[in-house]
Structure 1
Amino acid sequence: MKPPVLFLLGIIFLDQCRVQGTLVIRNQRCSCISTSQGMIHYRSLRDLKQFAPSPNCNKTEIIATLRNGAQTCLNPDSANVKKLVKEWEKQISQKKKQKKGKKYQKNKKTRKAKKSQGPRSKKTP
């Protein structure tokens, strides 16, 4: 059979079996019961995750993982936390730009090295 026909038959089969995509949910409830009121500097962070409201938790949650491995929930309405999130996102975007720049520099160097070698000639005995 031709691939398009097999694909169409596969779709019909999945539809008949009532296979549907399911939402991957991190928990059946909110992860943050209470939030920290303390000030955290972005340099002390290992990771910062922000979760939008969902059917199981109707509030925005921000979970900070510190360099020592401790996790804390932050108040998303706090001005300090909003500032921290902006600074974190800025740092992440700068790191991504640096990685792209390094890849570009590396590719540029290898191209220059290949050009400088020139065409290889055959050795005659």
Structure 2
Amino acid sequence: MEKGGAPFLLGIIFLTLIGVQGSPIMRSQRCSCITTNEGAIHLKSLKDLKQFAPSPSCEKTEIIATLKNGNQRCLNPDSTDVKELIQKWGKQVSQKKKQKKGIKHQKSRNVLKVKRSQRPRQKKTT
């Protein structure tokens, strides 16, 4: 072999080994929700609502509701009650975000007013 061929060959082997080690390992072919509940959940008892789209590890859409008491329930994504719950939850979350932005804006205004009023006034000298 030529002098330049050995480092080249070692470089290719090195890159191949790195590529093999970096390949992702597939998760087990399981869904988080084995069964779904048909019962209605009240919006007041809901802490969080997550929706997972179909993926290689699970072929179906999954909706997991976390209740305020810490329990989790899998909901049927085809149910009309669940679809309504998702819409109401989305509206509630967006309203909370708007309220938080409004409160932050009001606080910043109050801080500016306080800072202005605490400054000592300088007398004009002419």
Tell me which interval the TM-score lies in, with the shorter structure as reference length. Answer: 0.7 to 0.9
Q: Does 1:41 align with 2:42?
A: yes
Query: Which of the two has higher C-alpha Rg?
Result: 2
Equivalent residues in 2 for 1:67-82, closer than 5 Å: 67-82=68-83
Q: Aligned partners of 2:24 and 2:116: how far apart in 1?
A: 52
- Flag as ranges the 4+ runs of structure 1 deviating above 4 A: 19-25
Where does the alignment leave 5 or more consecutive residues of structure 2 unmatched?
1-14
Which secondary structure does the structure 1 equivalent of 2:49 belong to? strand
Which secondary structure does the structure 2 equivalent of 1:34 belong to? coil
> How far does the alpha carbon of each residue in 1:46-95 deviate from its partner, in whole angstroms, 9 at most, with x for none?
11111111001011100011111111100001110000001011111111
The two structures have a TM-score, normalised by structure 2, of: 0.73
Q: Aligned partners of 1:41 and 1:109: how far apart in 2?
A: 37
Percent of pairs with identical residues: 60
Give the residue type in structure 2 aligned to 1:117. Q
Which secondary structure does the structure 2 equivalent of 1:30 belong to? coil
Name the counterpart of 2:10: none
Q: Size of the alignment, in residue pairs?
A: 105
Where does the alignment leave 5 or more consecutive residues of structure 1 unmatched?
1-15
Q: Aligned partners of 2:70 and 2:92: how far apart in 1?
A: 19
The two structures have a TM-score, normalised by structure 1, of: 0.73
Give the residue type in structure 2 aligned to 1:64. A
Give the residue type in structure 2 aligned to 1:98. Q
- The alpha-carbon deviation at position 117 of structure 1 amounts to 2.1
RMSD between aligned alpha carbons?
A: 2.5
